[in-house]
Amino acid sequence: MTAPRPSTAVGAPTGGPRRGRVRAPGRGVPLPLLVPALAGLAFLLLPLLALLLRTPWRSLPDQLTSAEVWQALRLSLVSATAATAVSLVLGVPLAWLLARVDFPGRGLLRALVTLPLVLPPVVGGVALLLALGRNGVAGRWLDDWFGVTLPFTTAGVVVAEAFVAMPFLVISVEGTLRAADPRYEEAATTLGASRFTAFRRVTLPLIAPGVAAGAVLAWARALGEFGATITFAGNFPGRTQTMPLAVYLALQNDPAAAIALSLVLLAVSISVLAGLRDRWMTTR
């Protein structure tokens, strides 16, 4: 199911006569479309190109081996992975609920679940503070009963990232679930499987590619998360200062370091995209 499709280039004529110049009359790309299209392409690619052009390649090894960079990178990777794990544990069952169980208000609930997708992350951070802050609606009880405080801790980073990233996973998994044939679950039921067994042994393996794609999207979103994190968890090096926060801070006093850090994030993003393309994007 996850086998990568053969490259499309295989079928393309490579040695034959070129026919690129010969166009059927009236089939060319109209200028009013071509010009903005190329401008759009340049607009998207120029900043990335600029990042590569201005990278201080000579001092790069020193920049990348500095303790601060590694600290921030490690914290980013750990917290993004933890946020993805939280999203998987809570998000996959939530997606199943939204896709498979018919209940009143399901449409509204789906809209609410995806709200963090469009909500400005800073607003998400403020909302998290009001909910889980030391004096927050629920945070007060967490503090009183369990002595747990989330704001301005690494756990708080994970919470902020999961809040922003989980909707990506839910949307992706729910879409896959809707596309998957529910009759497989029925077949499992007639064989004696409870609904949970049918989910665990039949549905989950069938939607694994969708879950994986959703997890990668969530992970990438968590890795780049800035607004909710800085609002809810603050900016303490080694504790809550993730890569994006470090980039922003470095830009104020050490632009070369900011470029180096950005380059690392760009490399991570590109490898994620490559992984997505080969494994999941092409199979459905």
Partner 1 sequence: MTDLAAPRTGVTAGQGLDAHLVVDRGGFRLDVRLRAASGDVVALLGPNGAGKTTALRALAGLVPQAGGHLRLDGTSLDRTPPQSRPVGVVFQDYLLFPHLTALDNVAFGPRCRGASRAAARALAAEWLARLGLTDHAGAKPRHLSGGQAQRVALARALATHPRLLLLDEPLAALDARTRLEVRAQLRRHLADFEAVAVLVTHDPLDAMVLADRLVVVEDGRVVQEGTPADIARRPRTDYIARLVGLNLYRGEADGHTVRLDAGPALTTTEDLSGPVFVAFPPSAVTLHRERPAGSSARNLWRCEVAGLETHGDQIRADLTGELPLAADLTTAAAADLGLHPGAPVWAAVKATQTHAYPA
- The two tokens of residue 68 are 């601060």
Q: From the CB of 208, what's the least distance to partner 1, in Å?
A: 8
Q: From the CB of 193, what's the least distance to partner 1, in Å?
A: 4
SS3 26: coil
Our CA dihedral for 186, 192, 196, 200, rounded to 10 degrees, sits at -80
Q: From the CB of 283, what's the least distance to partner 1, in Å?
A: 13
Give the nearer residue to partner 1 in terms of CB position, either 186 or 278.
Answer: 186
Residues in the chain: 284
φ, ψ (nearest 5 deg) of residue 143: -70, -50
Q: From the CB of 90, what's the least distance to partner 1, in Å?
A: 24
- The two tokens of residue 123 are 């607003």
Give the nearer residue to partner 1 in terms of CB position, either 27 or 183.
Answer: 183
| CA distances (Å), origin 249, targets 11, 126, 235 | 49, 21, 9
- Compute the distance between CA of residue 192 and CA of residue 201 in angstroms, rounded to an integer: 12
Cβ 83 vs Cβ 218: under 8 Å: yes
Which DSSP string do the residues of 81-108 spell out, in sequence order? Answer: HHHHHHHHHHHHHHHHHHHH---TTHHH
- Report which DSSP code applies to 282: T
Q: From the CB of 96, what's the least distance to partner 1, in Å?
A: 17
Chain residues binding partner 1 by CB under 8 A are 1, 181, 183-184, 186-194, 197, 201-202, 205-206
Give the nearer residue to partner 1 in terms of CB position, either 195 or 239.
Answer: 195
- What burial class does residue 269 get, using C-beta atoms within 10 Å of its C-beta: 0-12 exposed, 13-18 middle, 19+ buried? middle
Give the nearer residue to partner 1 in terms of CB position, either 32 or 192.
Answer: 192
Give the nearer residue to partner 1 in terms of CB position, either 63 or 203.
Answer: 203
Give the nearer residue to partner 1 in terms of CB position, either 58 or 183.
Answer: 183
- The two tokens of residue 155 are 């756990």
Give the nearer residue to partner 1 in terms of CB position, either 1 or 10.
Answer: 1
Residues 6+ apart with CB under 8 A from 235: 241, 245, 249
Q: From the CB of 94, what's the least distance to partner 1, in Å?
A: 23
Residue where the block lists tokens 């470090």 = 246
Q: From the CB of 195, what's the least distance to partner 1, in Å?
A: 8
Q: From the CB of 103, what's the least distance to partner 1, in Å?
A: 17
Give the nearer residue to partner 1 in terms of CB position, either 146 or 196.
Answer: 196
- Compute the distance between CA of residue 243 and CA of residue 225 in angstroms, rounded to an integer: 9
Residues 6+ apart with CB under 8 A from 37: none
